[in-house]
Amino acid sequence: MKKFFILLICFLSLSSTLANSKNDLYEKIDLFGEVLENIKDEYVDDVNQAEMMDSAINGVLQSLDPYSAYMSPELFKEMQTDTKGEFGGLGIEIGMEAGVVKVISPIDDTPAAKAGIKAGDYIVKIGKEQVQGKSLLEAVKLMRGPVGTSIELTVRRKNVKKPLEFKIVRKIIEVQSVSAKLLGEDKNLGYIRLKSFNENSDKQVLKSVKDFEKKNKVKGYVFDLRNNPGGLLTQAINITDFFLEDGEIVSTKGRKISETRKFFARKGDEIKGKPIVVMINNGSASASEIFAGALKDHKRAIILGENSYGKGSVQSIIPLQNGGGMRLTISKYYLPSGKSISEVGVTPDIFVEEEGENFLINSDRDNQLNYAIKLFNS
């Protein structure tokens, strides 16, 4: 009987807590309605209430994290473009940070990269439009436009006092995700530049590796993931698996059981234990961080360069009844060590910062790549 009363008290206490929580929620909803009425009746200018509600919904989602966002029916339709390697625009991957649009990575050989946009730049104006207060998807919409037309971006850059202005011509962006060549004085280093993780990246990487291995003279590999904004999780897992004999590659954890999974390497190292250097920078994000982080945790590679971006989460696109949609974070990535990548990124074993104003990836002026090559000769 005593146990029964204890359980009854616990149940009543829990019920009271849930009731109070619901009451608090209803009070907030009433408060929100009151605010809307006051804006409608008292604000100095007429307000489009539908647009205001869209902004409120988006504000709720963006308060969760930089990657969750609301898409109106018009924007949702526009955003449903082909993502299989070809799209229109400037060639940059962007995210939000403290309400400001931040460049995650310029994609190689695109108008943005050629103009001089860098990872870590903050976009403050798109044309004549101030970016502050706009959602990420609204910023994307402003940057897109007819191929051949130009747009001006005003950016703020770390350690540069004045804002920088770039005039960029829009074009069709074709992402060739993998390029490979032999490096070093004796041409005995396999260099593989991985620009993104798209549908066929694993096949391209494997073909490059097998071609190098047939030459029977390659003593090590440099995988260049600088300014690689990521892509498909399956591709990150497949490519990492090529260089591990066993062990965990990555895990995802979410509230739903279906979003909590672990992925493991299968037996077989395609390069039979040859040394690997993986190059990363602030523009290496998401799938790039999984690849670099897993090889680092398994002590299979030396990571060289700068700290990666820190995007360690998975978003799902959820259609809504009004024809719009929402992008919502549903799980996070965790490295084999159990560490989360989110907002932390992967720390290099050897920190080498890019040098000089004329720095260019994979060129004679690329001090980071030159350092990687020297590691194999030391």
Q: Catalytic site residues?
A: 286, 297, 311
- Nearest-Å Rg of the Cα atoms of the chain is 24
List C-alpha distances in Å: 209 to 119, 120, 136, 221. Answer: 28, 32, 38, 9
Structure tokens belonging to residue 155:
């950016």
* Dihedral (CA of 155, 160, 166, 172) sign: negative
Dist. CA 324–CA 336, nearest whole Å: 37
Residues ≥6 apart with Cβ < 8 Å to 366: 354, 359, 360
Q: Which DSSP letter does residue 265 get?
A: P
Name the residue among 318, 317, 308 with its Cα closest to residue 340.
308
* Dihedral (CA of 281, 290, 301, 194) sign: negative
Q: Which helix (H) or strand (E) holds 305?
A: strand 302-305
Q: Are 133 and 99 in contact (CB under 8 A)?
A: yes
Give the number of other CB atoms < 10 A from CB of residue 269: 15
* Residue in the structure block whose two tokens are 């959602």: 135
Q: Are 130 and 124 in contact (CB under 8 A)?
A: yes
